[in-house]
Structure 1
Amino acid sequence: MAEFFQNTNLGIFLVIVFQILLVVVPLLVALAFLMYADRKIWAAVQMRRGPNVVGFYGLMQSFADFLKYIVKEVVFPAGADKVVFLLAPMISLVMAMIAWAVIPFNEGWVLADINVAILYVFAISSLEVYGIIMGGWASNSKYPFLGSLRSAAQMISYEVSIGLIIIGVIISTGSMNFSDIVRAQDGDFGLLSWYWLPHFPMMFLFFISALAETNRPPFDLPEAESELVAGYQVEYSSTPFLLFMIGELVAVVLMCALVSLLFLGGWLSPIPGLPDGFLWMVLKMLFAFFIFSMVKAITPRYRYDQLMRLGWKVFLPMSLGWVVFVSFAAKFDWFWGAFARWTTGG
C-alpha cells in the first residue's frame, strides 16, 4: 500500500488531494465559527446580543446562512456578462484559498515548503483584485463598477507598503521561507525574541495595511453602503455572493496568519520551557482576528481621499525608510546582530 502512494502517479495524486482537503475543510469549518465570533464581538461592542437563535447560543447561525445562500436563486442583472459575472467570485475565492499552500501551522506542517513562500503569497494576494474588478465590470451597473475601481486602487496602494514591510523582515532573516522566519525568532526569551519587538512600528503599519488590503473597516470603501449601495457586491445574490464573502474572510484569516508568522513567532511558545506547537499558532491567529473585529466595531469609515493619502504619503515613506534603516543595520551590525545575540544568549 505504501508503495502505491509513493511510486504511482495515481497514488501521489490521491495523497496531494488528501493533503489539500486536510487544509481546506478545517479552514472552511473554522470560517463559519469565525464569522459567528465576528458578529458576536460586533454585537457586544454595540451592547446587543447578536445571533442567538440557531443552535446553542447561535453557534449554528453561519451554517443556516450558508444553507440560505445555497438555496436562493442566482439573479443576473440585465445586460450582464453572465460568464464573467459567475467567474469573478470563483476567482476571488480560489486566489484566497491557494495562498494557504505555503502557510506552515507547525514545524513541517505545510503543503509546499518553498523558498519563495512570501513572494508566492504576495503574488497571489495581488491577483485577488481581478475577481473584484471582473465582478464590478460584468454587473453592467455604475455602482459595482465604481466599487471595483476603488478596490483596485486601494489594494494596489497598500500592497506597496506591505511589500516593503515584508522586505524588512526578509533582510532580518535572510530567507523568504515562512518556516525559516519562525525559526529565526526562536530565542531564549520567548516572546521577547520575536520580531514584534524590533519591528514594532512596522507590525503596526502591517496590521493597518492588512485592513485596507482586505477591505475591512475602517477601509471598506469599495463596499460603502452609504455611498455605493454595497459596492461591487450589490448585484450579487445566492451562491456567488457567498463565494465573495468566504473569499474575503479567507483573506482576513490569511493576514492573521501572516501577522503570526512574521511578527509573533508562529508556532513558538511565548514562555520559555513550554512546548511549541500548532495550538500557539491558532491562538495567535485568533488574537489577530479579535483585533480585526474590534477595529471593525469601533472605528468610523475613512473618506476615499484620506485613505489614499494615508497609503501614499504616510505608509509608503515610513515603510521605505524602515527598509533603508534595516538594510544599513544589517550591513554594519548596528542592531540586528546585537538583538540576535541577546535573544539567543550568545
Structure 2
Amino acid sequence: MYDFVTQWGPLWGTLASVGQILGFMVVLLLSLAFLLLMDRKVWAAVQMRKGPNTVGAFGLLQSFADFIKFVLKEIIVPAGADRPLFILAPLLTLTFAFITWAVIPVAPGWVISDLNVGILYIFAISSLGVYGIIIGGWASNSKYPFLGAMRSAAQMVSYEVSIGFILVTILLMVGSMNLTDIVEAQAGGFWNWHVLSFDMFPVPVFVITIPMFVMFFISALAETNRPPFDLPEAESELVAGYQVEYSSTPYLLFMIGEYLNIVLMCALMTVLFMGGWHAPFDIVPFTWVPPVFWFAIKVVLFFFMFAMVKALVPRYRYDQLMRLGWKIFLPTSLAAVALMGGIVAYSNAG
C-alpha cells in the first residue's frame, strides 16, 4: 500500500514553511508601505503641510503608486560602473534586511526560526548588511557614492559596538539569547526592568535599563542612517551619498532594505524593552487584545518616534557623530555591562 505521508510528508512540511515565510514577507512589505506613508505624513504635519493626499483616500495608495513608478522606470547603469556588483549591491541589502527578521517573535509561536542564539544571529546578519552599501558605493565608480559608502561603514561599525553591549546587559538579566525567552521573561510587566527580582539583593534595575533604552534608540537611528545621523546620504554634502548613481528598481531595493532595518530596530526595542507581545497590564480588557496587535502597536509607536526625530532634530556633523559613539556610548554601555554582570554574579552567589 502506498504510504502517502511517508513519501510526501517532508514535501508538504517544506511547502508549509515556504508558505509561512512568503506570507510573513508579504505582510511585512504591506506594513512597510503604510509605515512609509506615516513617515511622510508625520514629517508633513510637523512642517504644517498635508503630505501625500491625492492617490487613494487620504493618500493611502501613495506608496503603491511610488512602487509602480519605480518598477516601470528604466534601470540606468553608469558607463564606468562595475555592472555585476552595481546590480548585486541593492539585492544584498534587501536580502540581509529580510533574513534578519527570521528570529523576531511577533506573538507566542509566531516566529520563523526560534533560535537559541537569536541575538548572535541578529549580530551576524546586521554586520553583513553594510556590505551592500559598501559595494554599491564602490561599484558606482564615483567619488560621492564612495565617500557616502565609507561614511556608512564607519558609522554602522561604530554604533554596532554600543548596541552589542546594550544587548549583553539584557542577556545577563534574562540569562538567554533566545528572543522568545526574553519576551516571556517580561510577562506581567511592561518593561524589561521588571525581569530581575532578587530576594537577597533587590536592585532597581531600571537605573541601568532606562539609560540603555535611550542609548539603544539613538544608536538605532545611527545604525539605520536616519536623521539626525543621515551623514552617508547628506544631500548638502554628497548629493545623495551611496545612492547617487542608482535609479528605478535598484534604488527601490535600497530604500526597502533601509526601511526594513528601521522597522527591525523598532521590533528589537519592543522585544528587549517593551515586553514584546505582552499587554501593558495583565488585566481585562487589555488581555482581550490579541498578542500580535500589542506587538504591532508598540512597533508603530517606536516608528512614530523615529519619524518625529527626523522632523525635529537637525543633522549632526560627522565628528560629533563619531564622538558620541566612541567617547560617550561605548564607555557607558561597557560600564553597564560590568555593573549588570556584578549584580547577577552577586545574586547567584547569594
C-alpha distance in structure 1 between counterparts of 2:137 and 2:66, whole Å: 24
- Other-structure match for 1:291: 305
Residues 1:320 and 2:334 aligned together: yes
2:293 counterpart residue number: 279
Whole-angstrom distance in 2 between the partners of 1:214 and 1:202: 18
* 1:192–1:116 Cα change, 3 Å: closer
**Structure 2 length-normalised TM:** 0.92
1:167-182 equivalence runs, <5 A: 167-182=168-183
Post-superposition CA distance 1:41-84 (Å, at most 9, x none): 00000111100100001110000000000000001112101110
Contact 2:130 2:156 in 1 (8 A): yes
Q: Which runs of 5+ in 2 are unaligned?
A: 196-204
Q: Are 1:129 and 2:138 matched, yes or no?
A: no
| Alignment pair present for 1:225 and 2:235 | yes
Instruction: Tell me the number of residue pairs that the alignment of Structure 1 and Structure 2 aligns.
Output: 333
Write the distance in 1 (CA, Å) between the matches of 2:216 and 2:230: 17
State the 1:3 CA deviation: 6.3
Q: Calculate the TM-score normalised by the size of structure 1.
A: 0.93
Aligned-partner Cα distance in 2 for 1:178–1:56: 38
Corresponding residue for 1:311?
325
Q: Name structure 1 gaps, 5 residues minimum.
A: 338-346
Q: Would the alpha carbon gap of residues 233 and 191 (structure 1) be closer, same or farther in structure 2, given more than 3 Å must change?
A: same
* 1:8 CA displacement: 3.4
Task: Please report the RMSD computed on the Cα atoms of aligned residues, expressed in angstroms.
Answer: 1.8
1:264 matched to 2:274: yes
8 A Cα contact 2:191 2:273, kept in partner:
no
Q: For residue 92 of structure 1, what is the aligned residue in structure 2?
A: 93
Question: What is the CA distance between 1:194 and its match in structure 2?
Answer: 4.7
Corresponding residue number in structure 2 for 1:30: 31
Q: Provide the identity percentage.
A: 60
Q: Give the structure 1 partner of residue 254 of structure 2.
A: 244
Q: Hey, which bits of structure 1, 4+ residues long, moved more than 3 A? A: 2-9, 189-198
1:114 aligns with 115
Q: How does 1:149-160 map to 2 (within 5 A)?
A: 149-160=150-161
> Amino acid of the residue matched to residue 294 of structure 1?
M
Distance 1:252 1:5, change over 3 A: farther
SS of the residue corresponding to residue 333 of structure 1 reads: helix
